[in-house]
A and B are shown apart, each in its own frame.
Chain A
Amino acid sequence: MKKLLAVILTLALLLSASSVLAEQEPATVRFYNYALSETAKAAWWQETIDSFTAANPGMNIECVTVDYNSMIATFTNDLASGLSVDMIYGEVSWIPALVEGGFIQEPKDVLDPEFYAGYYEYVLDQMQYDGGVYAVPHYYTNSVIFVNKDLVEAAGLDLAAFPETLDGLKSWIEQLAAFYQGGDKVSTIFGLTTAEVPATGSNINAIFNAFGGQLLTDEGKLADLKAEPNATAMAEMLDFYKYLIGNGYTQENLKLKDYRAAFGAGNVCMYVDSSWGYAQIGEVDPAAKDFTVTAPLPTQMGTNGKGESLVESHCFLIGADLSEAQKQVVNLFIQHCTTSEVMEGYLNNIGLAFIAHKNMEDCKISPILEGAARGVSQVKRQTQIGAMVSVQKQLATMVLEYTMNGVSVEEAVNNYITQAEYYIDQ
């Protein structure tokens, strides 16, 4: 009897010990983050992750460093080979594909409701797809004009009187062109990207919105581009590109990275980009902050345009199959990354951008972005669709066909509609 009792007690002890051990087993989250493959951001991310895990014993973040272009292919392969994808650092345009692939879940089911309510609605709106909000923004940008203040002021222009209309902007462009004509100091007066790559597509779409157009309906279909106000916005936008390229104020088929490099080298007077494009400008010349300022798009662009652009955001996407312990890690980690203390250095030195959550309201934004800050909420909501990348990329093709190939506005738009519908209806 004594022996039996001893055995039972021993077993009970073992069971209780194992349950305690199980409780203390650290929860690990596999975090797919392309930013870790970028030199400028990797150290900041590692430091942030280290400080989080140090402050939260038992919570682990296992980083998976993936090149930006290989992210979705990597998830697919990893999931197929039985690995979990718990948290992703990505972009808004990825949402449709990730939702359709069953990769991600709605953050409202994971984050504390009080914290979730702190996100700015007009930014969160952009994360919608198929009736749900499938990501939370880390920070965001709209389209801003980077201005080389030295070049502009040398031409006798006053930055305090930055143009607020399209005609005013053209007048500045022409004055700058006249001032720098014949010299080899300035390669671009006003840069707009037209290379057929995804980043250019979203940039052109933002310009189309600034002219008062809207590419997609709320239902995710192609908007009627031949009806007003889209028809006027499209014609005016195409004419603006033709004006810039035809007069040599901008070069055709350049990528944003080309403009960033040229701007950093001090050869560009102005160009349109996302705020975080400054990271590459600063790589070319760390002293670029001395001559770089920003401005919002003019609030009067053509007949109907109010200079509104689209939100671009780096965001957190949350894996579909998380345990409760993993959800808690994700919840706390996102909150950790959304504080003024953690983000101020990043937003000022690494990826210049605007805050997207009330918890970061104490964050001072970079002086470079001060000029553009007055247009920060000049954004329109855009429905996300699976074929967004290709639909937007075709805009660059349309612009090149019109500006370089001598195609009429009508033909360029018709060709665009055919191509865009091909991708949307797939």
Chain B
Amino acid sequence: MRNAPSLRRAGSPRRRKDLLFCLVLLLPAILLCTAFILIPIVDSVAMSFTGYKLANLTKGTPGVWNDFGNYTRLWRAGKLQSAVWLTLGFVSITVALTFLLSMSLALILNTDPKGARMLRSVMMIPWVIPTVIAGLLWSWIYANPYGLLRYLVSVFTSGRVTDFGILNGKSTAIWGVIIAALWKQIPLMTLLLLAGMQNVPDDILEAAQIDGAGYFTRLIHILIPYMRSVIAVTVSMCIIENFKQYPLFATLTNGGPMGATTTLAVLSYDEAFVNYNYGSGAAVTTVWLAIMAVVVLLFNLAFRRRQS
């Protein structure tokens, strides 16, 4: 019974006109999304189930169904599992560190220290620099034997360590990429969090202070709850940004050494554009897409539950 009036409203000529008008306005976006996002995704997922090589692409012939051959081949070689864990590890660590450092910086900037305005402008530099260029800059810093990092390590260890190459070791290479990613991503997240922070009403914070709430109490119980939507958006963006991180890996490690930085992005590129096995590349992309969607969904669900 409660729906009756709304149904009547929906059925009214005015309502139908409004709906039609909305649809017309939305049509370009729907068409563009379908043509440039939905169809390529569906096409890529379909390709992942076929043997699809360079000849298929150039001669316009369809791929041949290969009984999940691309997935099983990647799985049997252990490449998929290794890339999935590495990607998840990279994303978790980078997102966590980016958030913690950005939040800390935003809190400092929010107290309006001397030179805050200049610092905010300077902080934009890493964000403005294209990721490939940032990767090249860091590759110079990390370079062995002429890099700055190697020199600094040599100085700080009083010459005991003279051949440190962060990208050369299997256990250290991923940290080299993480540091470059943090340098690139912290500025934007800091500024977004700072903007969110500045929207928290001062009177509530002052009232809490008068009531005896300490700094951390105000942070946990007032500031962060007020910033929840900003945090949700920025962290989601950061998760997606790091899931699809390819330029830094390509310029710094190219997946090495010994596969230590072969994430899903690198594996997908290698399969599709180094070995020209587009079907296999699409299989990696499909897994990649699915995991990214699940992670973002879980994050948003968890966030929404806490909010409710």
Contact = CB atoms under 8 A, between A and B. Distances in A.
A401 to B, nearest CB: 6
Contacts of A251: 144-145, 163, 165, 168
A196 B170 contact: no
Given A97-B54, A103-B58, A253 B170 contact: no
Interface in A212-259: 248, 251-254, 258
A422 B257 contact: no
Interface stretch (B18-26, B31-39, B223-231, B270-278): B270-278
Interface string B172-204: 000000000000000000000000000000000
B207 interface: no
Nearest to B255: A196
Interface string B272-305: 0111110010000000000000000000000000
Given A253-B167, A387-B275, A418-B77, A397 B53 contact: no
A102 interface: yes
Contacts of A426: 73, 275, 277, 280
Nearest to A188: B145
Given A251-B163, A253-B168, A390 B274 contact: yes
Interface in A362-379: none
Contacts of B58: 76, 79-80, 101-103
Nearest to A393: B274
A81 to B, nearest CB: 11
A254 B146 contact: no
A189 to B, nearest CB: 13
Interface residues of B, number: 33
A258 B57 CA distance: 36
Contacts of A169: none
A72 B53 CA distance: 13
A254 B144 contact: yes
B271 to A, nearest CB: 8
Interface string A395-417: 01100110011000000000000
Interface of A: 72-73, 76, 79-80, 97, 100-103, 187-188, 195-197, 248, 251-254, 258, 261-262, 267, 386-387, 389-390, 396-397, 400-401, 404-405, 418-419, 422-423, 426
Interface of B: 53-55, 57-60, 73, 77, 79, 143-146, 163, 165, 167-170, 254-259, 270, 273-277, 280
Given A103-B58, A267-B145, 10 more contacts: A97-B276, A101-B54, A195-B256, A196-B255, A253-B256, A390-B270, A396-B256, A400-B258, A404-B257, A426-B73
Shortest Cβ-Cβ A-B pairs, 10 listed? A196-B256, A101-B54, A253-B168, A422-B77, A187-B145, A101-B58, A97-B276, A397-B258, A426-B277, A79-B58
